[in-house]
Amino acid sequence: MQTAEISRRYLDFFAQRGHTIVPSAPLVSDDPTLLFTVAGMVPFVPYLTGTVPAPFPRAADVQKCIRTNDIEEVGKTARHGTFFQMLGNWSFGDYFKEGAIEYAWELLTSPESSGGLGFAERDLWVTVYETDDEAAALWQKIAGLPAERIQRLGKEDNYWHTGQPGPGGPCSEIYFDRGPKYGRDGGPAVDDDRFTEIWNLVFMQELIANVTSKVDFDVVGPLPKKNIDTGMGLERVAFIKQGVENMYEIDQVRPVLDRASELSGRRYGAEHEDDVRMRIIADHVRSSLMLMSDGVTPSNEGRGYILRRLLRRSIRAMRLLGVDGPTFHDLFAASRDAMKVAYPEVDRGYAHIEQLALGEEETFLRTLAGGTTILDVAVQKTKAAGRGELAGDTAFLLHDTYGFPIELTLEMADEAGLAVDRAAFDSLMSDQRARAKADAKSKKKVLADLSVYGEFRAKGETIFTGYTDLTTETSVLGILVEGAPAQRAVAGQTAEVILAETSLYAESGGQAPDQGAIVGDGFELEVLDVQKPVAGLISHTVKVVRGEVGVGTAATTVVDADYRRGATQAHSGTHLVHAALRQVLGPNAHQSGSFNKAGYLRLDYGWNKTLSPETRSEIEEISNNAIRDNLEVVTREMPLDEARELGAMALFGEKYGDVVRVVDIGGPWSRELCAGTHVSTSAEVGMINIIGESSVGASNRRVESLVGLEAFRQFAAERALVQQLTQNLKTRPDQLVERVGDLVQGLKAAEKKIQAFEARALSDRVPALAANAARVGEVLLVAEHVGALGSGDDLRSLATAVRARLGDVASVVALTAEVGGKPLAIVATSPAARDAGANAGSLAKRMAGVLGGGGGGKPDLAQGGGTDVSAVPAALEAVRGELGH
C-alpha cells in the first residue's frame, strides 16, 4: 500500500465520521519557542490549551514534521527520520477515550477492501498508563484484546504533557509485532524493536503544575474540557504495509536511496557502512526538499543552519561513497517525483527549490576540498603530538571560514580516531555571537507568556479596521504589565493593551507595525509596537504618556497618518519591484522574504548572480514606469484555491488560511496574496530608488530601495553633490565623469613621479650609509636611524641596497625608521656575515623587543616593529651588543 494511499484512507475514514479535514501546517512553526513543527500536535496547541477557541469539535490531518534531535541515529535504525508525517485525529471536548479507541481499532483492523488498513488483530498490542483502568477495560471491550496484550507502563512511556504547566493526561499506544526475527517475545515492555509503536492516543483530561521533568509534576485537577490528541506515524505504517525493513525503503524515500546507489556504483545491501550513508542521503534530501518547499533557505543561523547541515551531511555522505562531483540535480529530482503526489506544491515550486539546492552544493563542494585539507593537516599534527583531541580553534576555523557545521567536524574527526575540544569551540562561538550582538538593539519588547492571552482570545478575534479607517473607537479588553494581567496602567509604565477593535496594523507579512497613539478620557498612550501573539489577537505595546488606563475603559486608536502613508507606499513598492524582478529575470526570481516600513523596502529573492548595473537600472525603470502609469490597486478576499487559479503569487513558505486577501496592481501585472496595507493607485508610491543589491546566501539575493519622499530626498542629496562638484571643478554636469577621470589620471601620474623621486632620494642615501659601516666583531655593521618613511617597503629597499653596496664582505645592515608614527626595524645580512654567525631573524627579534613589539624573519632579511619611537637608539645599540659578543 503506497504511502499516499495510507494518508487518503486515513482522512477519508475520519471525514466520514464527522471530522473536519485540516491541511498540514508548514514545517516552520508559529510557536516562537520552536524552530520547526516537531510533532503533529504543535499546530493544535492553542486549541488544546484553550488559548484559542477550537473552530471545530473534531478534526483530522496529516501533519508534516521535522525533528533533528536524533540526527546521529538517522540511517542506523529502522524508524529515525528527520522529516516524518503524523496522521492525527482530534477531539476538542467532543468524544473521548471510548470514541478514540473505537476509531483506531476500526481503521487499523478493517479489511483493505472496505477502506481500512487491514492489520491482523493478532499482531497488535497496546500499552496504557499504569493506573488507567478505564482504558484497559475499553480495549478489552472494544477490541477483545486479552489482558496479556494490554501492558501497563509508567509516566515515562504513557503519560503526555507539554513540559509546561497546563493540560496533560494518560495515553495509550498501539504496537505492531514484527515477529521473532526482530527480537524477543513479551510485548513492547520487553522489546521496542520487535514491537514497533504505530499510534499514540492521548487522553487529555488533567491540569498539571510544578512540572520539573517528564515524570515529576503535580496533577491539580480535571480539565474543563477533555480532549483527544492522537498521532500515527505514517512512515512506520508504510514500511510495515509495504513489507520493507525500514522507513528508508518506503515508496517516498527509496527512489533517492536507489539514485545514490546508481551514482556511486555501490550496491545497497552489500556493506553496512555504505547502507547507512545511502539512508542518510535519502532521508536528508527528502527533509531538505520539504523544508525548502516551506520557504526555509540555507544560512548560518536558526532554521537555515539546520537545513544547511542536512544538505552538507548529504554531500559528505556522497563523498564517502566515492562521488566527489555534484549530485543534487539527480537526487532532488528523484525526491520530488516521489513526494509530489502527496504534496503537489513540491512540484509547483521545484525550480526555486532546485536553484537553492544546487547553489548550496556548488558552494560547499568548493569549500569542502580546502576545509578537508585543513582538517587532515590538523589531524596529522594532533596525532604526531600524541594528543587525542583536535583543538577547538581548528574546529572554529573550519566553521567560520569554510562553513563546516561543527557536527561535520565531529564526524570527520571521529573517523580519524580523534575527539574535538568542544568546550573551546563553544567558547569561541559564544565570543563571536557576543561581538556580533554588541551593537544590536532590539526594538521589540518580549511578549508575555502566551497562556495569558487565552482569556482575551476567548472573547473573539480582534477586529482590524485599519484598511479603511485611521481612527477607531473601541474598548480595553485587557492590560498586561510585565507579562501579568493587570487592572490598570499608570503614567510612566510600559504595558500591553488588548482592544476589541483597532486601526493600528500589527507587524506581519514583512510590514512593520503602525506608529500612533491610543487615547481616551484622561489618558494618552504612545504605541511602541503592535503584534499578533496568538492567532486572531492583536496586542499593543504602549507607554502611558499621561493619565491612567483601565480594563473596560473606552479608547480610540489613532494611526500616524504620515507613517501609514509611507508604509503603504513601501509595501506596494515591494510588489512593484517583485513584479519587475520577475519580468527581467524570469519566474525563478521568486520572493523569499521582505521587510518594509515608511520610506524603505527590502526584498529577498531566489537568484545566484550579482545584478549588473544595467539590469539593476532596468528593474528600477520598470518599477517607476508602473508608478507613472497610475495602475489601479484592487484588494479582494476570496477562497485560497480561487486565488491560486487566478495566478496570485504566494510568499514562498507562508501560511495562508482558507480565505485570503489578493492584491492586484494593474490587474494581473502584479497579483499577490497579501494582508498588508496598500495605496489606491500605483502613482501614490511616488518613486522607487534602488540603493543596494547584495547576496544573502548561495542562491538568495537582496534588493533594497528607498520609496516615496525618502527616494526623492536621496536623489536631491545626490543632485546637490553633483552641483557642488561641478562648481568646484568648473565643469558642466554632463562632463563631470570625464573631468574626474582626467583628474584621477593626473593624480596617478603625479604619484608615479613622486614615487620615482622618493626612490631616487633613497638611492642617493645609500653611499653615505655604506660609508658609515664600522667593524663590530667579525662583521661590518651599518646601524642607523633614517627618519620618517612612507612605508616598510621603502626601508626594506634601502637596507638591501646598502648591503649590496658593501659587496662580498661580511656585513650586517640594521636600519630603523618611523612609519605611520611607529618604529620599524629591518636587518639584512650578507652570506659571509651569516657564515660568521649573524642571523637577521634573531637580530630583528632582539630589536623589536626593545621597541616594545615583536619581529623575526629569515636569516638573510627580517623585520620587526614596536610602539616606542624613543627606544630606537637603544634598539640599534642592542644590535651592536649582540654582534660584539
Contacts of 300 (CB under 8 A, 6+ apart): 308, 403
Annotated binding site: 571, 575, 674, 678
Coil, strand or helix at 521: coil
Give the whole-angstrom CA distance, residue 22 versus residue 63. 9
| Spatial CA neighbour of 572 closest among 489, 635, 650 | 635
Residue 431 C-alpha cell reads as 565570543
Give the whole-angstrom CA distance, residue 559 versus residue 536. 20
DSSP 841: H
Per DSSP (E only), the strands in 547-598 are: 548-550, 554-559, 591-597
Phi, psi dihedral angles at 329 (to 5 degrees): -55, -45
Q: Are 572 and 686 in contact (CB under 8 A)?
A: no
Q: What is the largest CA-CA distance in the chain?
A: 114
Give the whole-angstrom CA distance, residue 524 versus residue 542. 10
Give 4-54 as a DSSP string: HHHHHHHHHHHHTTTPEEEPPPPSB-S-TT-SB--STTGGGHHHHHTSS--
Q: Where are the alpha helices (DSSP H) in 321-349?
A: 328-339, 344-348
Task: Quickly count: other Cβ atoms within 10 Å of residue 2's Cβ.
Answer: 15
Binning the chain into helix, strand and coil, the percentages to the nearest 5 are 45, 25, 30
Q: Are 104 and 174 in contact (CB under 8 A)?
A: yes
Annotated binding site for Zn(2+): 571, 575, 674, 678
What distance lies between CA 130 and its chain's CA centroid?
Answer: 42
Cα 822 to Cα 360, 372, 872: the distances in Å are 45, 40, 10
521 CB-contact burial (10 Å; exposed 0-12 / middle 13-18 / buried 19+): exposed
Task: Quickly count: other Cβ atoms within 10 Å of residue 98's Cβ.
Answer: 13
For β-strands 501-502 and 463-464, DSSP reports them as parallel
Residue 55 C-alpha cell reads as 473552530
Give the whole-angstrom CA distance, residue 828 versus residue 863. 9
Q: Are 250 and 79 in contact (CB under 8 A)?
A: no
Partners of 389 in beta bridges: 419
Question: What's the chain's Rg over C-alpha atoms?
Answer: 36
* Site of grid cell 520598470: 622
Q: Are 67 and 19 in contact (CB under 8 A)?
A: no
Amino acid type, 581: L
| Spatial CA neighbour of 239 closest among 181, 185, 331, 176 | 176
Give the whole-angstrom CA distance, residue 808 versus residue 132. 100
- How many helices (H) and strands (E) would you count in the chain? 25, 35
Phi, psi dihedral angles at 18 (to 5 degrees): 80, 15
Q: Are 634 and 604 in contact (CB under 8 A)?
A: no
Q: Are 142 and 106 in contact (CB under 8 A)?
A: no
Residue 578 C-alpha cell reads as 517583485
Partners of 381 in beta bridges: none
Contacts of 170 (CB under 8 A, 6+ apart): 128, 129, 131, 132, 135, 158, 159, 160, 202, 203, 205
